[in-house]
Amino acid sequence: LAKTTQPISMDSYEGQEVNITCSHNNIATNDYITWYQQFPSQGPRFIIQGYKTKVTNEVASLFIPADRKSSTLSLPRVSLSDTAVYYCLVISNSGYALNFGKGTSLLVTP
Amino acid sequence: DTAVSQTPKYLVTQMGNDKSIKCEQNLGHDTMYWYKQDSKKFLKIMFSYNNKELIINETVPNRFSPKSPDKAHLNLHINSLELGDSAVYFCASSQDFSGNQPQHFGDGTRLSIL
């Protein structure tokens, strides 16, 4: 399983754009990059997944450079309710359960 | 309708007891999982079932026994509970076992051993 490295914590003010970068230097050819969000007392929730370049949905954008050794989750105009832990995972398409690291604890303040 | 539901939400019991946690998903998924999140917030896979067949069994004490009566249910039975079993246990499901399918998690069962 590809190991991921992401910041332990980040702070932001409401209304700002937040970018969380994840390093995955030993990502394999058939691996996908996936992000989950976890609020206190809840299970993780899928946010976005990508293989290369850019993916965008109603919640976030995911930027993946050509070498795929890193990825950046972008949250536009965060609100207080975006305070959560964000996990970056690298998953093989051949299938395996999720390997959660420590995640990035994002705190959004007024 | 809750997609993945676990019961009970909280479980407080004494060392040595046997307890069960139930999980049901109404998403029509083929694959279900049990994860354990410890006090340091690390979330680790314990078991995975695909179409009622065990496909992942991580290094978990054999006091933990999963059972899948059908594709929609994956229950976790724990014998002779120990202090170190205190954690939050999450059930999850996905369409199938391929890695690019999102997993849907329940809200967890907080197990406290006295």
b vs e for B82-107, b when ≥16 Cβ sit within 10 Å of the residue's Cβ?
eeebbbbbbbbbbeebebbbbbbbbb
pLDDT, chain A, mean: 91
Residue from A79, A10, A3, A88 nearest A47 by CA: A88
Work out the burial of residue A65: count CB atoms within 10 Å of its CB; fewer than 13 is exposed, 13-18 middle, 19 or more buried.
exposed
Q: Among residues 15-74 of chain B, which lie with CB inside 8 Å of chain A?
A: 33, 35, 41-45, 48, 56
Mean pLDDT of A66-77: 96
> Which domains are assigned to chain B?
4-113 (2.60.40.10)
Residue A30, pLDDT above cutoff 90: no
- pLDDT of B1 reads 62
Q: Which chain A residues are closer than 8 Å to B5 by Cβ?
A: none
Residue A1 has pLDDT above 70, yes or no: no
CB contact under 8 A, B56 and A34: no
Q: Is the pLDDT of residue B110 over 80?
A: yes
Short-list A43, A74, A7, A2, CA closest to B23:
A43
Whether the predicted pLDDT of B95 surpasses 80: yes
Which B residues 69-88 touch A at CB under 8 Å? none
Q: Which CATH number is correct for A9-93, 2.60.40.10, 3.30.300.30, 3.40.710.10, 3.30.160.100?
A: 2.60.40.10
Domain boundaries, chain A: 9-93
For residues A48-67, average pLDDT:
95
> Within an 8 Å CB–CB cutoff, is residue B13 touching chain A?
no
Q: Is A50 on the interface with B (CB under 8 A)?
A: no
Residue-wise pLDDT tens digits, B30-89: 999 999 998 888 888 899 998 888 887 777 899 999 999 999 999 999 999 999 999 999
